[in-house]
């Protein structure tokens, strides 16, 4: 799956996120520097609580209103520094250029609004008509010709709701999609399908994908390049094959070794 990327879409340099604590500012992300290539699938890999989500949200200052978190460093996207943008400018970037898919689809959808209404809001100001909505739903494997647009989120399965969230994310034709553990809320039978769907969509258009996961199987199957995070720091960055063949950092070697042992045991169980 690895593709050659000579062009950089996004570059983060010395990016840090801190929160107030009784003894001063506590670093949640410390000096992260990395790039996202044009057309690349970049994996951000690490255990829960290591700072993956905060790092991804800090790229566009996607924090709750009044958040005490402090972001420092630089994020250059399409040659433009993002962190100094005014709120309205950043909102426009998030609306049209950099879109997110989160872990819990039911928390991303408005429980009081019908699906069709939410899709139209995602496409608002982009021109076109309902055919764009139908095309987006068809692309994620949902039937817009039925009653889906008239349903409320609670009337959908979790897998359907996540597909709706993906459709909403891709409607503006973003150039960067950030998917944060997008299958954590769905059952095992749906996980592979949703991940395959995301990568298929990414490959069918001029779009890069940042996929956040704790699962090495996901990283090995879908990544072009892998970033490993531990305790708020990036400890290794490598092409997928190099990472799994010869990890450099001791923590990376521990992860890959455990992953290989699990695969070996699974293989022995199948063979037996």
Rounded Cα gap, residues 182 and 198, in angstroms: 9
Q: Which residue has the higher pLDDT, 130 or 24?
A: 24
Burial of residue 100 (CB within 10 Å: 0-12, 13-18, 19+) is: buried
pLDDT in tens, 126-177: 555 677 888 889 889 898 778 898 999 999 999 999 999 999 999 999 999 9
Pairing of strands 8-21, 70-77: antiparallel
Give tens-digit pLDDT for 39-54.
999 999 999 999 999 9
Return the number of other C-beta atoms located less than 10 Å from residue 5's C-beta.
18
Q: Is residue 178 within 8 Å of residue 52, measured between CB atoms?
A: no
Provide the pairing of β-strand 41-45 with 225-230: parallel
Q: With CA atoms as reference, report the closest residue to 229 among 26, 13, 32, 74.
A: 32
Instruction: Please tell me the distance from the alpha carbon of residue 151 to that of residue 219, in angstroms, as a whole number.
Output: 34
**pTM listed for this prediction:** 0.91
Q: What dotted CATH number matches 8-267?
A: 3.40.50.300
| Gap between the Cα atoms of 28 and 125, Å rounded | 36
Please report the pLDDT score of residue 61 as a whole number: 95
pLDDT given for residue 185 in this prediction: 84
Greatest Cα pair distance, the chain, in angstroms, is 61
- Pair 208, 37: CB distance under 8 Å: yes
């Amino acid at each position: 799956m690895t593709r050659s990327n000579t062009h950089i879409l996004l570059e983060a340099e010395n990016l840090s996120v801190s929160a107030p604590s009784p003894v001063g500012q506590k670093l949640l992300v410390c000096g992260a520097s990395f790039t996202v290539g044009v057309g690349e699938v970049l994996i951000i890999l690490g255990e829960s609580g290591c700072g993956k989500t905060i790092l991804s949200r800090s790229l566009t200052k996607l924090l709750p209103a009044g958040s005490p978190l402090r972001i420092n460093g630089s994020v250059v996207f399409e040659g433009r520094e993002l962190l100094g943008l005014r709120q309205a400018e950043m909102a426009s970037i998030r609306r049209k250029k950099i879109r997110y898919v989160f872990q819990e689809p039911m928390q991303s959808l408005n429980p009081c609004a019908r699906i069709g209404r939410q899709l139209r809001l995602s496409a608002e100001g982009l021109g076109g008509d309902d055919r764009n909505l139908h095309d987006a739903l068809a692309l994620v494997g949902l039937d817009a010709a039925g009653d889906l647009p008239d349903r409320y989120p609670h009337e959908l399965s979790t897998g359907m709701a996540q597909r709706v969230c993906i459709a909403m994310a891709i409607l503006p034709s973003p150039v960067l999609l950030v998917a944060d553990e997008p299958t954590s809320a769905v059952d095992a039978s749906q996980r592979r399908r949703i991940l395959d769907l995301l990568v298929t969509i990414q490959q069918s258009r001029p779009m890069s994908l940042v996929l956040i996961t704790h699962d090495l199987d996901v990283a090995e199957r879908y990544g072009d390049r892998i970033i490993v995070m531990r305790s708020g720091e990036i400890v290794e960055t490598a092409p997928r094959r190099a990472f799994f063949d010869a990890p450099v950092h001791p923590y990376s070697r521990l992860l890959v070794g455990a992953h290989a042992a699990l695969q070996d045991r699974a293989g022995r169980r199948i063979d037996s």
